[in-house]
Structure 1
Amino acid sequence: MELRTLRYFVAVAEELHFGRAAARLHMSQPPLSRAIKQLETALGAVLFGRSPTGVTLTPVGAVLLDEARALLGQADRVRVRVAAAAGAATITVGILGDSTDPDVTRLADAYRRRHPHVEVRIRETDLTDPTCGLHAGVVDVALTRGPFDETGLTVRELRTDPVGALLRADDPLARRDSLKPADLADRRWFLFPEGTDPIWQAYWNGGEPRQGPVVRAVQECRQAVLWNGTVGMTPLGHEPAEGLTVVPLIDMPPSRVVAAWNDGDTNPLIRSFVEIAIAAYHG
């Protein structure tokens, strides 16, 4: 069994869909299906149940998934140790400066335990660049929020956060149990500068064109609400500053916390980072 084939198998086992797995692997579906069929033939066992309703792991496939993850993890660690011995073990992580996230602390601890000799360089960005420097090529991997332009990027969801309307505590709407974006249609919203990713901008403006003050950072968002009585969106898990409150917004999709990296980047440090991130955020 080749490591490449095992990576194909793991992708299908995690996605439980050949089309999604092929997209994740940046390949077409027919060669992926052939590779899995050849693996089943070599092992003399069926790894997936296939039906019109989808793909399921067989008991044999579940065993192989555990073993394949262990083997691939070991292979990545070998590459990392060799890179460390050569003095080249560094990874640059872009982080969106939107809050102190306890999952990031858990991820940092887990990554340091797995790769104690890897130097992790952190580049924090403001809200004007949701890719945290990926498109500019200044980071290897980003911990950020969607949605944004994913052209040329691979994105894995780590968590979803419901969102709410950020208001002054004395705002008449602050007494409501919930709000809809339509309830805020006549209000001024904080906006991001011209040139900010339009997909990102549209989401945080509730899907509608808005008017209001321009901000670049979370603290500027809060101050715009506090000083001007403007409104905006924020994850419900964010603790509002004194004088502010958050009211849940219904009819709005949650904010996706994601790991993202450039398509085709085979750096094993990135692969290991993403695997550890998924475990940390789901743990």
Structure 2
Amino acid sequence: MELRTLRYFVAVAEELHFGRAAVRLHMSQPPLSRAIRRLEDDLGAQLLLRSAAGVALTPAGGVLLAEARDLLERAARIRGRVASAAGPAVLTVGLLGDSSDPAVTRLAAEYRGRHPGVEVRIRETDLTDPTCGLRAGRVDVALTRGPFGADGLTVRELRADPVGAVLRADDPLAGRAGLTLADLAGRPWFQFPPGTDPAWQAYWNGGEPREGPVVRAVQECLQAVLWSGTVGIAPLGHDPAAGLALVPVADMPPSRVVVAWREGEESVPVREFVRIARTVYGG
């Protein structure tokens, strides 16, 4: 039995519904169902009674739920004790190249005040990697924006920001109070390089295939708007640069600020970072 599989089982047992558990775990339902089936095969016992309405625990499932909770709590304590014995903690935080958010400043101050003994290292990444180096193991936790493929990661939403279209100030649409995606049809939109997370690219293209210049950083996006009339998308809280306008897009979903870390690697510094981030952002 792996700790990850036990976490899956606890989520299903507490939600009593595979769909809700999958949402809670930020994964799709089929691999979750397969993992629970493998766990039942491994233990040689049926843990859940499945029906159209949801699931119910069997007596064996009830026993495993209690034991799994205890085991997961003990694993967390072990991590904490090992981290303490290892000496001064180091936490590497990945930030998207969009870190002008004042909440980042508040989070830094709050974390530093509560954990002065933790050495925090910052790694800022461009827009081509929404996980900020998390998958490659270059950071311990990422403060970023979704959506992106979350397999193997734990993701928690902190805030949802309405977005708008970044246009040249002399664009005929720049003076409008609001726009829809249909108003922006037929225009070039910025693109990310091949290999960029498809969910991430699709979001910044308004959910449709588009064509336009390839960019890697926020400033490149803004310059593409200024020089080529490219459509950019940005959270409404951002102040447009000189020569640009930011107009709300009513039918585009908000940009979600999230904190993410590798599944099963929630160290004490990471856990504290997540806890403080959710408090600061109100998530």
Give the secondary-structure state (helix, strand or coil) at the position aligned to 2:257: strand
Partners of 2:109 and 2:78 lie apart in 1 by 20
Q: What does residue 155 of structure 2 align with? A: 155
Amino acid at match of 1:204: W
Deviations for 1:152-210, whole angstroms, at most 9, x for unmatched residues?
11100000000100000110000111111111111111111111111100100111111
Give the secondary-structure state (helix, strand or coil) at the position aligned to 1:175: coil
* Alignment CA distance shift 1:144-1:210 (3 Å): same
Q: Give the aligned length.
A: 242
Identity of aligned residues (%): 68
Partners of 1:76 and 1:113 lie apart in 2 by 23
Q: What does residue 281 of structure 2 align with? A: 281
* Alignment CA distance shift 1:85-1:263 (3 Å): closer
Q: What does residue 129 of structure 1 align with? A: 129
Partners of 2:272 and 2:181 lie apart in 1 by 39
Partners of 2:233 and 2:252 lie apart in 1 by 10
The alpha carbon displacement at 1:83 in A equals: 3.1
* Alignment CA distance shift 1:206-1:24 (3 Å): closer
Contact 1:18 1:33 in 2 (8 A): no
Contact 1:84 1:118 in 2 (8 A): no
Amino acid at match of 1:141: V
Contact 1:159 1:281 in 2 (8 A): yes
Q: What does residue 239 of structure 1 align with? A: 239
Q: What does residue 29 of structure 2 align with? A: none
Gaps of 5+ in 1: 1-6, 42-71
Amino acid at match of 1:188: P
Q: What does residue 205 of structure 2 align with? A: 205
Partners of 2:61 and 2:168 lie apart in 1 by 56
Partners of 1:91 and 1:231 lie apart in 2 by 37
CA RMSD of aligned residues (A): 3.3
Q: What does residue 228 of structure 2 align with? A: 228
Contact 2:158 2:277 in 1 (8 A): yes
Contact 2:155 2:259 in 1 (8 A): yes
Amino acid at match of 2:276: I
Contact 2:79 2:267 in 1 (8 A): no
Contact 1:90 1:118 in 2 (8 A): yes
- Counterparts of 1:5-44 in structure 2, within 5 Å, are 20=20, 23-24=24-25
Q: What does residue 173 of structure 2 align with? A: 173
* Alignment CA distance shift 1:17-1:108 (3 Å): farther
Partners of 1:36 and 1:277 lie apart in 2 by 34
Partners of 1:33 and 1:279 lie apart in 2 by 34
Q: Does 1:191 find its partner at 2:191?
A: yes
Contact 1:189 1:210 in 2 (8 A): yes
Gaps of 5+ in 2: 1-6, 27-31, 37-46, 49-55, 67-72
Give the secondary-structure state (helix, strand or coil) at the position aligned to 2:120: strand
The alpha carbon displacement at 1:17 in A equals: 7.7
Partners of 2:16 and 2:147 lie apart in 1 by 23
Q: Does 1:217 find its partner at 2:217?
A: yes
Deviations for 1:28-61, whole angstroms, at most 9, x for unmatched residues?
6x689789988xx9xxxxxxxxxxxxxxxxxxxx
Contact 1:180 1:249 in 2 (8 A): yes
Give the secondary-structure state (helix, strand or coil) at the position aligned to 2:215: coil
Q: Does 1:93 find its partner at 2:93?
A: yes
Partners of 1:37 and 1:193 lie apart in 2 by 49
* Alignment CA distance shift 1:243-1:16 (3 Å): farther
Partners of 2:235 and 2:141 lie apart in 1 by 22
Amino acid at match of 1:201: Q
Partners of 1:17 and 1:269 lie apart in 2 by 31
Q: What does residue 141 of structure 1 align with? A: 141
Per mean C-alpha deviation after superposition, the further-off stretch among 81-90 and 259-268 is 81-90
Give the secondary-structure state (helix, strand or coil) at the position aligned to 1:111: helix
Partners of 1:114 and 1:153 lie apart in 2 by 26
Q: What does residue 55 of structure 1 align with? A: none
The alpha carbon displacement at 1:266 in A equals: 3.3
Amino acid at match of 1:174: A
The alpha carbon displacement at 1:81 in A equals: 8.2
Partners of 2:235 and 2:262 lie apart in 1 by 26
Amino acid at match of 1:179: L
The alpha carbon displacement at 1:76 in A equals: 7.9
Give the secondary-structure state (helix, strand or coil) at the position aligned to 1:239: coil
Partners of 1:33 and 1:212 lie apart in 2 by 53
Contact 1:107 1:280 in 2 (8 A): yes
The alpha carbon displacement at 1:236 in A equals: 0.7
